[in-house]
Amino acid sequence: MKEYDFVIVGSGFGGSVSACRLAQKGYSVAILEKGRHYSKQDFPKTNWDIKKYLWAPIIRCFGIQSITVLKNLMVLHGVGVGGGSLVYANTLLRPLAKIFKSTAWPSSINWEEELEPYYSKAEKMLGVCQNPHLDEGEEVIEQLSIDLGCHETFERTNVGVFFNDKPGFEVEDPYFNGSGPKRTGCTVCGSCMIGCPVGAKNTLDLNYLFFAKKWGSEIFAETTVDKIEPTSSGYLVHTICTTSLFRKKKTTFKAKKVILSAGVMGTMDILFKNKIKHRTLNNLSNRLGETIRTNGESLLGVTSFDTHRQLSKGIAIGAQIKPDEHTKIEGVRYPSGSDFMKLLTIPLTGGANRFFRPFMLLAQMVRRFIPYMKAMFKKDWANSSIILLVMQSLETNMTFTYGRTFFKGFSFGLIGEMKDEKMKTYIPIAQESAKLVAKNINGEALNCSAEVVLGSITTAHVLGGAVLAIDSNSGLVDTNHEVFGHKGLYICDASVIPANLAVNPSLTISALAERFSDQFPIKENFQELVFTN
């Protein structure tokens, strides 16, 4: 059995950054990813191709978009080599300074100052730039800012996309002194969230993972971690083949150190399973699964009845506004023909009370039946629709536990329990914004069904569960990301973030991972690698 200095579980922003920097310092690294390898030719042309788009192994779908439904939470997250970067909306934003002043962050460190250089490193690696295109969807958001009296806050988003003056043409590496892969300029096709077919999106396989592999890291795709077993010299990581149908192929990896970077949903599942089922990580803090946060989100949409709309043209999220000090609104798009997400929509339904809101939906279904049906059967729904992602910086939280759950067919899995009544599925400014946009583009306003029917928070930005802390009474890992009670076991993904960021978290995860990997010295007798041809 080959022994690695580090086995990294997950290839998203935390795992890829860590793998790159550790390989750069001469360490042997194995990256375990439960999803598949994807190239730009492998992505679906629309999200109706659920075999390539949706992650649902039980029905033999091994795509890049996973939708996990818990008791009080519905999470959209990415799967595949490159993790969330394959399916996220390119948006790379720094949180406001006030976020780091929250008492949730360990007070021994000035986190704003501490992370500043690491944000800069991550921005350079991920090719962050300002969106140069303002298409029809961005115009809709700008008009909304005028209606809400906050036009001065309208701004283009900072994104990880390669733009040049020759869209669709391949050029030599523009980012890493020619030592990176060739790149193709963005064609603003809107396909960012179903997998970029052009190769313009700065996914992790084109930067951090590219160099991790170039510098010796080994990537094992279609490999799901089951058990982590401590040994006298490190850990044994027991895995099964994700995609095998009947007899599961099993493989064991030997590691001096293990880094869990499987995203909140993956990392929480592994930790709970090994604490409760396998009992191999018995010393985990009792704070496991606590302080789960989202970005205070609500997802709404508007479908226009006009025939001339071109709302699918552009990048996934091209502009944002801030109607008040706590709220940010982004306009989101899918490419033409990608109408799958309309199956998750219902008529816009108000009501702050979770119990009565489903009954209010019934009234809305009667009242808005004709326009709602018209929206659902609208030809090329994606091209005529805009999704409003509303995020708020208010502090809220829930707790994950582990047990038999209806949502997994009564087998064991994660359960999301609401612990804070401030965590609302109904946000008044979100409802108002959807109505204003519907009026402006002659359309029908829509709600996400999970928010109304199940009373569930819908998020693509789940955080926490294994948060940074000064001791095991406050969280699961110390400020160097090492798990309390398990030396050599680390967590480096969104699980460690202790506060609501109120922005898309990918850049912050990358900055934290840059800081985390910086603690390890260059391996003895090794010359640190640099970007060269």
Amino acid present at 277: K
Mean residue pLDDT of the chain comes to: 93
Secondary structure letter of residue 467 according to DSSP: -
Which pLDDT belongs to residue 355? Answer: 81
| Three-state SS letters, 337-377 | CCCHHHHHEEECCCCCCCCCHHHHHHHHHHHCHHHHHHHHC
Interval 429-459: pLDDT, tens: 999 999 999 999 999 999 999 889 888 888 8
Distance CA(61)–CA(48), nearest Å, equals: 12
Q: Which of 412, 419, 369, 423 is nearest to 398 (CA)?
A: 419
**Cβ(312)–Cβ(336) below 8 Å:** yes
Instruction: Judge whether 228 and 237 are in contact, CB under 8 Å.
Output: yes
N-terminal to C-terminal alpha carbon distance within the chain: 33
Cβ neighbour number for residue 194 with a 10 Å cutoff: 28
- Choosing from 37, 308, 461, 481, the catalytic residue is 461
pLDDT category, 409, cuts 50, 70, 90?
low
Reduce the secondary structure of 122-176 to three states and give it as a string: HHHHCCEEECCCCCHHHHHHHHHHHHCCCHHHCEECEEEECCCCCECCEECCCCC
Mean pLDDT of 23-45: 95
Q: Catalytic annotation on 461?
A: yes
Record the pTM. Answer: 0.94
Cα pseudo-dihedral 323, 69, 474, 282, rounded to 10: -170
3-state secondary structure 264-314: HHHHHHHHHHHHHHCCCCCCCCCCCCCCEECCCCEEEEEEECCCCCCCCCE
For the record, the structure tokens of 51 come out as 């075999």
DSSP 527: P
**Band of residue 356 on the pLDDT scale cut at 50, 70, 90:** confident
pLDDT of residue 532: 67
Which residue, among 245, 259, 243, 160, has the nearest Cα to 207 in the 3D structure? 160
Contact assessment for residue 141 and residue 333, using Cβ atoms and an 8 Å cutoff: no
pLDDT score at 53: 95
Residues 48-64 have a mean pLDDT of 93
CA angle 515, 518, 524 (to 5 degrees): 170
What is the set of domains in the chain, with CATH numbers?
Answer: 1-37+80-127+202-293+462-533 (3.50.50.60)
What pLDDT is attached to residue 489? 98
pLDDT score of 206 more than 70:
yes
Residue 80: C-alpha distances to residues 19, 385, 462, 520 (Å): 16, 28, 18, 27
In this prediction, residue 246 carries a pLDDT of 72
pLDDT tops 90 at residue 413: no
In whole angstroms, what is the distance from residue 410 CA to residue 364 CA?
33
Least confident residue range of 167-181, 187-201, 256-270, 353-367: 353-367
2 or 212, which is more confident: 212
High-pLDDT (> 70) share of the chain, %? 97
Q: Rounded to the nearest 5 degrees, what angle is found at the Cα of 61, between the Cα atoms of 237 and 34?
A: 15
pLDDT at res. 171: 95
Average pLDDT over residues 110-119: 97
Q: What is the pLDDT of residues 161-178, one digit of tens each?
A: 999 999 999 999 999 999
Q: What is the pLDDT of residue 255?
A: 97
| Contact predicate 332/386, CB 8 Å | yes
Q: What is residue 46's predicted lDDT score, i.e. its pLDDT?
A: 95
Provide the pLDDT for residue 102: 86
Residue 65 to residue 77: CA distance in whole angstroms: 6
Dump pLDDT digits (tens) for 482-520.
999 999 999 999 999 999 898 999 999 999 999 999 999
